[in-house]
Amino acid sequence: MRLSLATVPATRATKPAYDPSALDIGVVHFGPGAFHRAHQAAYFDALAAADPRWGICGVSLHSTGVRDALTPQDGLYTLAILDAEISYRVIGAIREVLVGPEDVEAVFERLTRPSVGIVTSTVTEKGYCLGPDFTLDFQHADIVHDLANPQTPKSFIGYVAEGLRRRKQAGLKPFVLIPCDNLPKNGHRLKAAVVAFAARFDAGLADWIDAGLACPCTMVDSITPATDDALRARVADVTGLEDAWPIQREAFTQWVIEDHLHEGGPDWTRVGVILTDNVPAYERAKLRLLNGPHSTLAYAGLHKGYDSVSQAMDDAELAQTVRALMIEDVVPLLEAPKGLDLVAYSEDILTRFRNPAIVHKLSQIAWDGSQKLPIRILSSLSEALERGHDITRLALPLAAWMRFVRLKAVKAEAITDPLATDLIAIGLTCKDVVSDVGLFLALRSVFPEDLANNRTVIAAIEGAYTRLLAQEGVFA
C-alpha cells in the first residue's frame, strides 16, 4: 500500500498533527529537492498544527521526478531522522508540486495569490545565475532567454521577476523572498540580481522591488544524504507504507534568518528558527567550517578511495588534516556570531561528520566543485594570504579537485558541474604538475586573477598536487 492522505492513518511513522488537506498555500518553493524536503518543509510542517496558512507549492524548474513521485501520494512523504535510533515522520506541508515548463501559468497564479506571503528557494549555487563577482550574469543562457521571453521563464530569477511584476500590477505587496542555498549573503545577492533583471525591461518595477522586497539572508544546515533504494525499503518495512521518495537527514538542523520579515508571517521562533541581524557571521562560519571541510573530505577522500564522509573521517591522517584546517586555518579568520564558540562549533561538526548512522556519499558533495570551491575554500584562502598565514592545507582541496577532474576525464566518467565541458577538456590535457595547475588556475570563473597569479598560491597548489600524484603513482 502506498502512502497518501487515504492511507496515512495506517502508517507506523509519526503522522502530521494536522489535516494536510486543510492547509492553505502560503509558500511557493522553487527546487523541492531532498534538502528542501528535509529542512524547510519540516519547519513548515512543525508550524502547520498551530498555523495552517503555510502549506507549500513546490515548483521544479526542470525535472518531473518530484511531481511524479509526490502527486500520487497527495504530497506526503516520509522523513527518516538518522540518530542513534532512526525515527520516521510523515511530512504533510507540501500540498502540490508543479513543473515550471509544463505549468507556467499555474506557477504565476500561485505567485500572485494574496495568501502567498513567502517564496523560498533551494536551486543550488548555480541556480541563481550569478557570475564570479556574484552579480547577475547577463550572458547566462537562461537569463538571455528570460529577458526575451518573460512570460515563459527558465530561471528562478525570471520566475521571481515576472511574479513580482504581476503582483505589482494586481496591486499586491511583494512576497518575502527567502533563499536557502549555501551562498554567502544569499539574500542581498538574490535581491540585487532580481532588481538588475527587472531594470532591463521596467525601471519602475525595479524601483518597486528595490523599495519593497524583503529578501533576508539565511543560513541553512542539515546533512541530507541522497535517497537510495535501501532507504525506500527500510521506510516500507518500518512504516508499513510504500513511499516513492522518502527523505533522510541527520537529527541536527538549523535555520537562521535575517530579522526583517513581514508582519503577519509565521511565528518562526516557535519552531526553532533563529532570527538575528547577524546572519553573515553564521553563514560564513557554516560555509567555511562545514561546507569547506566537506568539499575537502570529498575530493581528498575520493582520492584515497573512500566512499562516504564517515569513512573518510576514519582515516586518521585525513581527519587530522581537516580538523587542523578548520581550527588552525579557518577559525582565526572568522568573527564568531554572538554566543557561538567557533572551536566547539568545529568539534561538533566533526562529530556530525563521524556519525556512522549516516552514509553521506563523497560523490554527492563533489558535485559542482567549480561553484562551491570559491565560496567554501578560496574565500578563506585569500583572507589567509592577506594576513600572511600559511595556506598549505587550504591548497589541498583545490589540488584534490584538480586530480578528481583529471581522473574523471581519463576514465571518461561524467562530471556534474556547469563547467563540465571545460573541465573534461582540461582533464584530458593534463600532463605535468606545473602545466596542470596552470590550466585549472586559468579558469577565470573559478579563480580570480589576483589569486591565480599569486606565486604563493601557485606554489601551495603545486605542492599539494605533487603530494597527491605521489600517492597515485598510476597517472603520473
Q: Is beta strand 77-82 parallel, antiparallel or unpaired with respect to 86-91?
A: antiparallel
Q: Rounded CA gap, 447 and 440, in Å?
A: 8
Q: How far is the CB of 34 from ligand CS2 (least distance, A)?
A: 9
Pairing of strands 77-82, 247-250: parallel
Three-state SS sequence of the chain = CECCCCCHHHCCCECCCCCHHHCCEEEEEECCCHHHHHCHHHHHHHHHCCCCCCEEEEEECCCCHHHHHHHHHCCCEEEEEECCCEEEEEECCEEEEEECCCCHHHHHHHHCCCCCCEEEECCCHHHHCECCCCCECCCCHHHHHHHHCCCCCCCHHHHHHHHHHHHHHCCCCCCEEEECCCCCCHHHHHHHHHHHHHHCCCHHHHHHHHHHCCCCCEEEECCCCCCCHHHHHHHHHHHCCECCCCEEEECCCEEEEECCCCCCCCCHHHHCCEEECCHHHHHHHHHHHHHHHHHHHHHHHHHCCCCEHHHHHCCHHHHHHHHHHHHHHHHHHCCCCCCCCHHHHHHHHHHHHHCCCCCCEHHHHCCCHHHHHHHHHHHHHHHHHHCCCCCHHHHHHHHHHHHHHHHHHHCCCCCCCCCHHHHHHHHHHCCCHHHHHHHHHCCCCCCCHHHHCCHHHHHHHHHHHHHHHHHHCCCC
Cell of 260: 526583517
Q: Is 370 a residue that touches ligand CS2 (CB under 6 A)? A: no
Q: How many residues bind ligand CS2 (CB under 6 A)?
A: 10
Work out whether 222 is an interface residue with ligand CS2 (CB under 6 A): yes
Q: How far is the CB of 405 from ligand CS2 (least distance, A)?
A: 16
In whole angstroms, the minimum distance from the beta carbon of 292 to ligand CS2 comes to: 9
Burial label, 227 (beta-carbon count in 10 A; 0-12, 13-18, 19+): buried
Q: Which region, judged by CB under 6 A, interacts with ligand CS2, from 6-14, 73-81, 216-224, 407-415?
A: 216-224
What string marks each residue from 371 to 400 as x (binds ligand CS2 by CB under 6 A) or -?
A: -x----------------------------
Q: How far is the CB of 216 from ligand CS2 (least distance, A)?
A: 18
> Least distance to ligand CS2 from the beta carbon of 20, Å?
26
Q: In the bound complex, what is the minimum distance in angstroms from residue 418's beta carbon to ligand CS2?
A: 14
Range in contact with ligand CS2 (rule: CB under 6 A) among 22-30, 167-175, 220-228, 415-423: 220-228
Q: How far is the CB of 359 from ligand CS2 (least distance, A)?
A: 13
Half-sphere exposure in the Cβ direction for 405 (13 Å, CA): 27
Q: State yes or no: residue 310 binds ligand CS2 (CB under 6 A).
A: no
Q: How far apart are CA 31 and CA 36, in angstroms?
A: 7
Establish how many alpha carbons lie within 13 A of residue 170's alpha carbon, considering only the half-sphere containing its beta carbon.
16
Task: Give the x/- contact pattern for ligand CS2 in 182-211, rule: CB under 6 A.
Answer: x-----------------------------
**Least distance to ligand CS2 from the beta carbon of 401, Å?**
12
Nearer to ligand CS2, 214 or 375 (CB): 375
363 binds ligand CS2, rule: CB under 6 A: no
Residue of 285, 322, 365, 437 interacting with ligand CS2 (CB under 6 A)? 365
Nearest residue (beta carbon) to ligand CS2? 294
Q: Which of residues 256-295 bind ligand CS2 (CB under 6 A)?
A: 290-291, 294
Shortest distance, position 318 Cβ to ligand CS2, whole Å = 16
462 counts as binding ligand CS2 under rule CB under 6 A? no
Q: Does residue 221 bind ligand CS2 (CB under 6 A)?
A: yes
Indicate the residue among 61 and 289 with the shorter CB distance to ligand CS2. 289
- x/- map, 153-182, ligand CS2, by CB under 6 A: -----------------------------x
- Residue 325 interacts with ligand CS2 (CB under 6 A)? no
Q: Report the residue number, 351 or 471, with the smaller CB distance to ligand CS2.
A: 351
- Residue of 278, 364, 445, 466 that binds ligand CS2 (CB under 6 A): 364
By beta-carbon proximity to ligand CS2, the closer residue of 189 and 372 is: 372
Rule CB under 6 A: say whether 122 interacts with ligand CS2.
Answer: no
Question: Would you say 89 or 372 has its CB closer to ligand CS2?
Answer: 372
Residue 134: CB minimum distance to ligand CS2, A: 18
Q: Closer to ligand CS2 by CB, 197 or 299: give it.
A: 299
Task: Tell whether residue 120 is a contact of ligand CS2 (CB under 6 A).
Answer: no
- From the CB of 469, what's the least distance to ligand CS2, in Å? 25
- Pairing mode, if any, of strands 218-221 and 25-30? unpaired
Give me the least distance between CB of 365 and ligand CS2, in Å please. Answer: 4
Q: Round to whole Å and give the CA distance between 38 and 220.
A: 11
Residue of the chain from 223, 322, 325, 349 that contacts ligand CS2 (CB under 6 A)? 223
The rounded distance, in Å, linking the Cα atoms of 12 and 386 is: 56
Contact residues for ligand CS2, defined by CB under 6 A: 182, 221-223, 290-291, 294, 364-365, 372
